[in-house]
Amino acid sequence: MAAASVLSGLSGCACYLCCRSGVVFLVRPDIDDIVSRETFNKLDMYTKFLMKPAADGILRDKENPYAHTDIKTEDIDLGWKKVGAGFLDWKKKRVKVKKYRISKFLSVDIVSEDDIHGKMNMFVSLSQRILRFRCLFPLNDKPNLKFESNFDAQQMLEDLRITMGEGGIFPDSYNSWDEMTSDESLTNIFFYGMGAILTATQPDHVSSGLGAFVVEMPLENFETRPGFRPLGATIYFDADQKPCVIFDPHQNNFFYPDKAGWEAAKFLVRVSVVTLITVREHLVWSHLIISNSVTKASIIHLPPCHPIRRLLTIFTFFTNKVNTVALKALTPRNGLLHRATGFTYNSMKEIFDASYQASNIFEPFGDRKVSSSIQKLSDEGKFPYLSEGIAYFQIIRAFVQQWLKIADMGVDDAVAAKSFYDAVKEESKGQKYELPNLEDDGDAMINLLSQMIFVVTAYHELAGGVVDYFCLPSRCGFRCTNNATQMDVQSFLITTIITGSTSVRMPNLMQDFNNFFGAGEAPSWETAVWNNFKRNIEIQSKKVIHADANRQIKFKAFDPAKFECSISV
């Protein structure tokens, strides 16, 4: 998601923060070349100062993407010091961990630097803090400032270079969704898009009689700021996966196709599903819980030569920086997410708490139970989120099993591995799914490593792939006014910066990583095991492409050819 991190955008924001003699002052960005300046000038100061510098920064980073050759064995040493010439000669040293209390239950400890990249740029960190200064940039909502049409929105995006393709900051979409306002688009979202994550959790028996499938988005009890209505909705689909009823809990009313209020109800559903998944599944579960805890524990407890750290290194590439900026940009009061949504900050903290307590992100994807109706859909090839997700997960699990079997860890490595596992297990406490004791489950380590790899590659690709949802104000957004069918200008523009940051990608997964596996005196078997995994995901990619050729609605999110090797912005 975009919302998971805005590292590139915030790097760009530093362009207008100038330092002379230790004094920081603001330079207003040049907006004379913006054709849409009449609408632009009605925006609040924060949004106007954010847009062009952030877009410029994203473009610079987009032009210099990371490659698989950037990950090198000799550069991996964070938390440890070389004490001899041999591959195994390491001594632990202190690594700095920063502690952040976000809400009552959600507290995040992040290693403050990355292998290869070092510490976060202080200039970028300073820019983040200044943007949150209420005296300079007060929270000044503009809920009623709307575009006259999608054409006007596109014109402004072009003026700001926030477009797809060369010269624009949006990532290219691999979907073929030409619109997102029809009834059919809801089928796309909930059975072939990010909403499938929620659809997969429906109860075994839908007893209401309103539809064969039901998806709940429980956001109605979280208070919003003046001018915005509460989010949250329940949508029902018939046996053919067509939307048939929407329940709006705030209005306590049901809405039906082609009846009064249906278009506004559909927009509420789109906003609710994207907001819920962005905050919960994407930001909290993927970034702040599983990728962060596994990365941190591997650095602290496993020397760079340890087989498990060797396994995890490419899957944790750049993770500390990505998660640090996600946390600093998206979780604070007056941060990007607070401003883009309509929630009060107290409500945001309540959502963070609810997300933490509901988390099952450590539960192995291939072992999760689903309803009989969802399983039937999957068996018929009509719910590829489940069928293709499990197929890929099983490939990962076989890869991890082979890696650990060949590694044949000795006593010291086994002790370190248990310390690593126990550290991650400790951080799962208080969540809906807590990791089992290592000694009570013979597959516990394999499941943990497999699930982490699955999340940062496939799951994150789906939960964080938001460009189709946020490219026009009529599609989706993070907040809603009464009876709205489009986003307001202010939130739409902030959201496009979050979306644009997702164009800065990590190295593609389907690569050799020949500067890392088997390199620098590392065991040669690493290369053989990795190449076997790579061959298997190449085969799986071909299966996904073949399946797509035989179904009307495409699902490319779980094509391994699209995956990044680690969690990205």
Higher per-residue confidence, 16 vs 440: 440
The confidence score (pLDDT) of residue 206 equals: 67
Alpha helices (H) along 107-195: 122-131, 150-159, 183-192
**Residues 50, 56: Cα–Cα separation, whole Å:** 10
User: Quick count: other Cβ atoms within 10 Å of Cβ 509?
Assistant: 24
DSSP alpha helix (H) spans, 172-233: 183-192, 196-199
Question: Is the model more confident about 139 or about 32?
Answer: 139
Res 8 pLDDT > 70? no
- Residue 293, SS3 per DSSP: helix
Q: Assess contact for 331 and 351: CB atoms under 8 A.
A: no
Say which DSSP state 284 is in.
Answer: I
pLDDT for 505: 87
Q: Between 168 and 484, whose confidence is greater?
A: 484
Write out pLDDT tens, residues 197-235: 999 998 876 667 888 999 999 999 999 999 999 999 999
Q: Which of 209-223, 333-347, 494-508, 514-528 has the lowest mean pLDDT?
A: 494-508
The region of weakest confidence among 138-142, 174-178, 444-448 is 174-178
pLDDT value at position 168? 79
Angle ∠(99,103,108) on CA atoms, nearest 5: 30
Closest residue by Cα to residue 220 from 247, 246, 250: 250
Dihedral Cα 166, 170, 175, 177, nearest 10 deg: -110
* Least-confidence region, from 83-92, 131-140, 181-190, 475-484: 131-140
Where exactly are the structural domains of the chain?
Answer: 2-180+263-562
What pLDDT band is residue 119 in, cutting at 50, 70 and 90?
low
The interaxial angle of helices 292-301 and 411-427, nearest 10 deg, is 150
Spatial contact of 126 and 139, defined as CB atoms under 8 Å apart: no
CA 470 to the chain's CA centroid: 14
In eight-state DSSP terms, residue 503 is G
pLDDT tier at 521, thresholds 50, 70, 90: very high
pTM of the model: 0.93
Other beta carbons less than 10 A from residue 384's beta carbon: 25
Residue 200 C-alpha from the chain's centroid? 18
Q: Can you give the pLDDT at residue 124? A: 63
Residue 280 has pLDDT above 60, yes or no: yes
Tokens standing for residue 461? 């690709």
Q: Taking a C-beta distance cutoff of 8 angstroms, is the pair 290, 451 a contact? A: yes
Tell me the per-residue pLDDT of 541-566, one tens digit each, with 9 for 90 and over: 999 999 999 998 999 999 999 999 99
User: Across all residues in the chain, what is the average pLDDT?
Assistant: 89
- pLDDT, one tens digit per residue, over 394-451 is 999 999 999 999 998 999 999 999 999 999 999 999 999 999 999 999 999 999 999 9
| DSSP H or E stretch at residue 215 | strand 213-217
| 200-209, Cβ contacts within 8 angstroms, sequence gap of 24 or more | 200/368, 200/370, 200/374, 200/383, 200/385, 200/386, 201/370, 202/371, 202/373, 202/374, 203/371, 204/371, 204/372, 204/373, 205/371, 206/236, 206/373, 208/236
Which residues fall within 8 angstroms of residue 240, CB to CB, at 6 or more apart? none
**Tens digits of residue pLDDT in 363-392:** 999 999 999 999 999 999 999 999 999 999
Q: Does the structure show a pLDDT above 90 at 25?
A: no
CATH number given to 2-180+263-562: 1.20.245.10
